[in-house]
Amino acid sequence: MAAITARISSFFGRVPRWVYIVAVLAFAIAFPMLEYFGLMQTLWLRVGTRALVYVLLAVGLNLVLGETGLLHLGYVAFFAVGAYTTAILSSPRFDIQWNFWVIIAIAMGLAMLFGFLIGVPTLRLRGDYLAIVTLAFGEITRMTLNNWEGLTNGPGGIPGIYPPQIFGWTVDSPAEFFYLLLVTVVIVVWLLNNLKNSRIGRAWNALREDEIAAHHAGVGPTRAKMLAVVMSSGIAGLAGAIFAYYQQFINPTYFLFMQSVIVVSMVVIGGMGSIPGAILGAVVLDTTPEIIRQTFTSWLPAAIGPDFLPGVQAAMQTEFDRYRMAIFGLVIVLMVVFRPEGLLPNKLWRREMHEEDPRELEKTGQHLFDFEEGTQDLEV
């Protein structure tokens, strides 16, 4: 079993990375066209669009959780800050429609400011304080949104958010939002990937691996962590701003603690500290419940007959949200048991390509693993 898995992953490992990138991008670009040509229900386009919002959140949180190793439990609060920025500045609520770019800048700037304010007291201290304070901040944010009726209209939320105008392009259909988000994801991922492969990304990783050693190697822990927290807050703000435009209506129930937990799960399941992992984790966790629902309510009944488990069908239709969380829990338990390192763990591709390629080893006469004392090293 292990041997088979190893061979499969070694095969996939030898495919150059750009092939994956091109394939994934090609699929993403073609995806809305499936709907346009009637090959796919609009439902799936909506699922895909929402998945892209989660992808933004997952790659953003990965910066803190995966790359820097800090537990952050209130990520949805920064998402909410971005979403309410859009809702307040581009809706009938105050009868204003500010420019898209200005709103994005304010959303990101505000989220980053909050990230900074939370970082100041917590990042100097040991790890767990950030988790506790972010958790509290998430709840405070939601309560503020619920109670500051003059600004947010409380639990009633803000309806009728105006669509964004980007260089004269009015973004107002699911397909257009899908493309807007896709471009955003590509830019954000490109920038984050550059950062990851730089002295700053290495400093984050070093802090995650061993903070004391990193500090002795000249990495200022507080500054580097602050940068990660502020940047990931900005990405959540950006995701929130676009999400509000897309959703056209938001209220505080979109920003429950559970959402933070879901994004954490996406990063963990994808593989902490791996950008492809975060992307895959977001897509898998966002689409799996929907796929299961469709399996029971439409695909299986269509294949087997409309009276296929009518009780399950009814339950899936009316009470799906409860099952959704159960499915999440199940996926997480399965992952922890069978693949704790995540779906696409950190650096898998690179290691596969460089170390496990037998030709490479032959060339250099090196073995995959360095041997312990008394065996290999003695002979050298």
Partner 1 sequence: MAEVILEVRSATKNFGGLKAVNNLSFDLHKGEIVSLIGPNGSGKTTTFNLITGLYEPDSGDILMQGESIAGLKPGQIYARGISRTFQMLRLFSNMSVLENVLVGMHGRTKANVIDCMFRTPRMRREEEASIVRAREILAMFPGRFPLARHTQPAASLSYANRRRLEIARALAGEPRLLLLDEPVAGMNPAESMEVMRQIRDLRDAGYTILMIEHDMNVIMGASDRVIAMDHGIKIAEGAPVDVANDPAVVEAYLGRRGADTAS
Among 35, 296, 346, 349, contact with partner 1 (rule: CB under 8 A): 346
Q: Does 219 bind partner 1 (CB under 8 A)?
A: yes
Q: Is 361 near partner 1 (CB under 8 A)?
A: yes
Work out whether 217 is an interface residue with partner 1 (CB under 8 A). Answer: yes
- Is residue 149 within the footprint of partner 1 (CB under 8 A)? no
Toward partner 1, which CB reaches closer, 77 or 227? 227
Residues 28-37: contacts with CB under 8 Å, at least 24 apart: 28/182, 29/182, 31/178, 32/174, 32/175, 32/178, 32/179, 35/174, 35/175, 36/175
Interface with partner 1, residue 227, by CB under 8 A: yes
Residues touching partner 1, count (CB under 8 A): 47
- CA quadruple 197, 199, 200, 204: dihedral, nearest 10: 80
Question: According to the binding rule CB under 8 A, does residue 93 interact with partner 1?
Answer: no
From 105-113, 212-220, 259-267, 326-334, give the range in contact with partner 1 by CB under 8 A.
Answer: 212-220
210 lies in the binding site for partner 1 (CB under 8 A)? yes
Min dist. Cβ of residue 341 to partner 1 (A): 10
Query: What's the min distance (Å) between Cβ of 228 and partner 1?
Result: 11
Q: Which residues are within 8 A (CB) of 314 and not within 5 positions of it... i.e. 6 or more apart? A: none
372 binds partner 1 (CB under 8 A): yes
CA 270 – CA 62 distance, rounded (Å): 10
| Rounded-to-integer distance, Cα 30 and Cα 232, Å | 29
Shortest distance (Å) from residue 223 CB to partner 1: 9
Is 144 among the residues that bind partner 1 (CB under 8 A)? no
Instruction: Give the separation between CA 114 and CA 234, rounded to whole angstroms.
Output: 9
Which backbone phi and psi does 366 adopt, to 5 degrees?
A: -100, 155
Cα 282–Cα 286–Cα 289 angle in degrees, nearest 5? 145
Is the CB of residue 115 less than 8 Å from the CB of residue 123?
no
Q: Residue for token digits 């800090």?
A: 70
From 79-87, 101-109, 211-219, 286-294, span contacting partner 1 (CB under 8 A)? 211-219
Give yes or no for residue 126 binding partner 1 (CB under 8 A): no
Is 339 a binding residue for partner 1 by CB under 8 A? The answer is: no
Tell me the H-state helices in 197-220. 199-209, 211-216
d(CA 365, CA 359): 10
Give 84 or 349: the residue with its C-beta nearer to partner 1.
349
Chain residues binding partner 1 by CB under 8 A are 191, 194-195, 198-203, 205-206, 209-210, 212-221, 227, 231, 273, 346-347, 350-351, 354-355, 360-361, 364, 366, 368-374, 376-378, 380
